Chains A and B, each alone.
Chain A
Amino acid sequence: MTENNGSIIKIEKMRFAYYNEIPVLEDVNLEIPANSSACIVGPNGGGKTTLLKLILGLLHPTSGKIEVFGSSPEKARTKIGYVPQYTAFDPMFPVSVMDVALMGRMEKHRFGFYSKADRRKVLEIFDEIGAANLKDRSFSELSGGQRQRILIARALVSDPGLLLLDEPTANIDPAVEEQIFDILRKLEKKLTILTVTHDLGFVSSIFQTAICVNRKIVIHPTSQMTGERIQEIYGRKIRMIHHNHDCGGHNA
């Protein structure tokens, strides 16, 4: 199948609940067109990460349908570049930066070792995102921001059509955060990006659309999300925001 009239992700009437309990996500309809980018915002426990895992096919909807690149998430998986949070890793793991980035191409060979082409691709991506100076380092001795950058590289070396990031700026200091934003701004011109974030400053500076997830989802164009508007909705300084409004009364 082709890419389904240009939409990369298509979710219809989806509902998801763990073990038949209260649904985490309900009545979700979402369409992400090609070459667009969006961020997923919402309160903790609102279902942001669950939505991400459903799109990756790590969880399956209780009812409804998800299509990614016009097929099931499991089939489309290898076309997605996924960037988890760097804090999820064992800080002592003996692995080099190169080893980590090469993992993005692990499905390209069945036996034996990574090819020269794999290494060339990694170096190319390192250059692109400004990580070339890190290539000989050990992953465990990098700072949080550097690790996050290498994880982005790992996701990019497979030439994905869609990049999914799970809170790429969590636990990273503001100066480094800005570097990550720069990388994403550059990438946004080439591929579709979907990122989970707490940081609403992020929302308006890069993305066209904000998907608010709190059991149900509501989509805002970020043009409505000027700094004043955000402060008005959230009542606090942007960086400290906890997203817990009801997105226009849909939960009434």
Chain B
Amino acid sequence: MSVIYDPVHWTPHKKTYDRLIAAFVFAYLALFCGLQLLLHPQITAETLVIRATGTLAYLMLHIILIIGPLCRLSPRFLPLLYNRRHLGVSMFLIALVHGIFNLVQFHSLGNVDPLLSLFTSNTQFGSLARFPFQSLGFFALVILFLMAATSHDFWLKNLSPPVWKALHMGVYAAYAMLVMHVMLGVVQLEKSPVLIALTGAGMFTVIGIHLAAAIRQSGKDQGSVRKKISGRDMETQQQAADSDQMFSGFVYACEVSDIADNRAKMLTISGEQIALFKYGNKLSAVHNLCKHQNGPLSEGKIIDGCITCPWHGYQYLPENGQSPPPFEEKVCTYDVRVLGTKIYVNPKPYPAGTPRPAALIAE
């Protein structure tokens, strides 16, 4: 978190993460180029650079894409998510080298401008076999550029989280274009089934992990759904009568014992995703999505009295949904009531940052 513009808000973990990225990049390039020169000494320097950077960027994109769903499957992979944006920017820079070398190699020093050549040398869009695959790579690179250029909390704040998130979901469009870029490009030349299988394996890994995470999340979401109650659902008619006024609009959430101390339970009530926290003998509810990158606050923890997002550590006070000063992020708050061991939540949200008294759990 940062309240002033800071190019990179360095933490020890980010430094370690970046060192690992650098080591990975250099190790891959050294290995790939070394093997190429050993097994194919006839290769030209330009082709070596194009293939080394192309395969590396493509591989890194796969890693980037599986980190998100991997963290949904097990939060223990969250350290990989913490500085993923540096991995993304590194991948873009490597892809940019690949793109520039391709533009120079295949389109420069000709009778038309290189960029014009890129779009006019092959216009056979109607044929899959002859499809101008390089234009797919170009448009994917444009998307990756927009993502890399806005991979900073400055842009997140100024574009607003929903716009920023939508922009960064463009990575899936870029990935789809790059799969086609590879399949309609180099795979058309390199007929080896091993290379086709590798491309397929990468694609199925990305899709498979996303599906597994989606299925798991769907199960969680269904488990979190709560429906509005009627008096008959209350323990006794007397309780219903006594609580008609007090519990109007409230929905049964769970038992007090269902929530671990300093942890939360996610609820979905009337489409509203709510994180219900228990801390000490108190209960508070806030909107489930972190203002930073829509991280699931219900998977967070109360640390130093603050709800702490599991993704990047953004914090909110449970009783008003406000980040502690000097930070300014706010989430919606909800009313919570306790009746015996049962917790009820009113799904009507208060404006972000509205203080609501915590419900007290009877001793």
Query: Do A and B bind?
Result: no
Q: Name B residues whose Cβ lies closer than 8 Å to a Cβ of A.
A: none
